Amino acid sequence: MREWTRDERYQRFEEVPQDKLEALRAQVQQSNYKQIFHIQPESGLLNDPNGLIYFNGEYHVSHQWFPLGAVHGLKYWYNYTSKDLVHFEPHGPILKPDTKNDSHGVYSGSAFEYDNHLYYMYTGNARDESWQRHSSQLIAKVNQDKTISKFPKPVIGQPPEGYTEHFRDPKVFKKDDAYYAIIGAQNVHKSGRVVLYQSTDIVHWQFMGELETKLTEFGYMWECPDYFNLDGFDILMFCPQGVEPDGDKFNNIYQAGYIIGQLDVDNLAMNHADFNELDNGFDFYAPQSFVDAQGQRVLIGWMGLPDVNYPTDEENWAHCLTIPRVLSIEDGKLKQRPIKALKQLRFNEETALGYANKFTRQLHPYDGKQYELIIDVLENDATELYFELRSSRQHSTLIKYNTREQKLTLDRSESGPLPTPVEGTSRSTILDTPLSQLQIFIDTSSIEVFCNDGERVMTARIFPDEDATGIKTSTESGQAYLKFTKYELKEG
């Protein structure tokens, strides 16, 4: 891996010669790992989804972007619009580090509507001569011609007393007649927290205080907070950094999850149940939610993690966004399902019905690199069920289900080159109910597994060889009666 100098990391995209940019884009287009129905960078590094909103009949989706390589450098927001959250039109960088308050990066933030106009609130990152970080919260208005007008000064100029400069990622929401911004923070005792601000005119923001939760010692920084009410429940999502592993939980370098309960805004308190991970796989972080045209709460995450190297880094690009997920609360639990609009990408349906047993079966004519696979478990007397996807002589991604423990495991030990450094090559979760269905989305270099109609999701980047197209099934002992439905998927 090449070492990037500070000057290289903070090159301005606008000052890079066009031929260099074209060469970087060509590397992505030629990559064997290029995705076909996920948003991924045209070059360089993608991270947090930002500014997600349905406004004036179209969706706006942006992501953090460093265009020049697979490192975290000078950040821009790269923007797309969409009519259906399946097909996206790229518009290039929409927010740029072009003022003194965001000179060293346009960091994460959110979109909101005010007085029939679209606005973004985001963290500006600036560095002084000593390279000390200064973070402030800025607002930009999206004009009718899609140009940007930034407010002349920060609306929140610095962290409140008692907090460090790790103070970022505002999510704006409206409750009753007021606007609120929830912001990820670190207090001076190096503990993660979230704080709330309130405004009635979006220019003047009043610090309300820290949101009280039961999680008093839960990591050293809480990033990318999000708050919303869903089906009568209040949900606070955030990404705690510095949480220790606990059995099958919290095994990634940083976590992304939620608490569910009731928010008392007046008293700044959240009465809640345990913190749960949103995704039980390897590669999921910095999710953001919004309301779609049908009034559903939709979530998109970054399919990647900070401080991890990925095999495409050598090709000067990294990461993608997840497919959009529709959220609901059922029986007091959060469910996540893929948006139904993705059915537009389906073609060439194939089905198979039969028994899996201890003899491995290759499913014919089932193969491919980009597909949706639905596995219905109609009967199950097997001790363990195995599904091998993107299988070749060298590579295979394994989904394993232990019937007695109701444990589902995603194993990428044989999936090809692995991201590093990552603890372990498998991730597991205990299901609430016996396995009845898996709905799996495979793209060129990713897998997203939705279990039991949204009960759990497991996401991972995988990097198998070109020949890894097979699908196999077997059991440890006993047998299971299964129905497979496979759809090839078109480009998004």
Catalytic residues: 48
Residue 465's H or E segment, with its range, is: none
Residue 105 backbone dihedrals phi, psi, to 5 degrees? 140, 130
Query: Rounded to an integer, what distance in angstroms lies between the CA atom of residue 56 and that of residue 463?
Result: 39
User: Other C-beta atoms within 10 Å of 176: how many?
Assistant: 6
Which residue is listed with tokens 């898996």? 438
DSSP letter string over 154-194?
-SB-SPPTTEEEEEEEEEEEEETTEEEEEEEEEETTS-EEE
Query: Rounded to an integer, what distance in angstroms lies between the CA atom of residue 92 and that of residue 150?
Result: 18
Task: Give the type of residue at 87.
Answer: H
Quote the DSSP letter at residue 212: B
Residue 265, SS3 per DSSP = coil
Query: Rounded to an integer, what distance in angstroms lies between the CA atom of residue 315 and that of residue 303?
Result: 18
Say if residues 440 and 448 touch (Cβ distance below 8 Å): yes
Nearest to 452 by CA among 440, 469, 476, 435: 435
Instruction: Take residue 469 and report the two structure tokens written for it.
Output: 């197209």
Interior angle at CA 56, CA 108 and CA 38, nearest 5: 50
The overall longest dimension of the chain from CA atoms, in Å, is: 69
Query: Rounded to an integer, what distance in angstroms lies between the CA atom of residue 239 and that of residue 224?
Result: 6
Instruction: Take residue 285 and report the two structure tokens written for it.
Output: 């972080």
Residue 26's H or E segment, with its range, is: helix 18-30
Instruction: Take residue 484 and report the two structure tokens written for it.
Output: 């497979």
**Does residue 319 come out as left (phi exceeding 0), alpha (psi in the -120 to 50 range) or beta?**
left
Query: Rounded to an integer, what distance in angstroms lies between the CA atom of residue 492 and that of residue 39?
Result: 9
Residue 108, SS3 per DSSP = strand
Say if residues 33 and 312 touch (Cβ distance below 8 Å): yes
Nearest to 437 by CA among 402, 483, 479, 406: 483
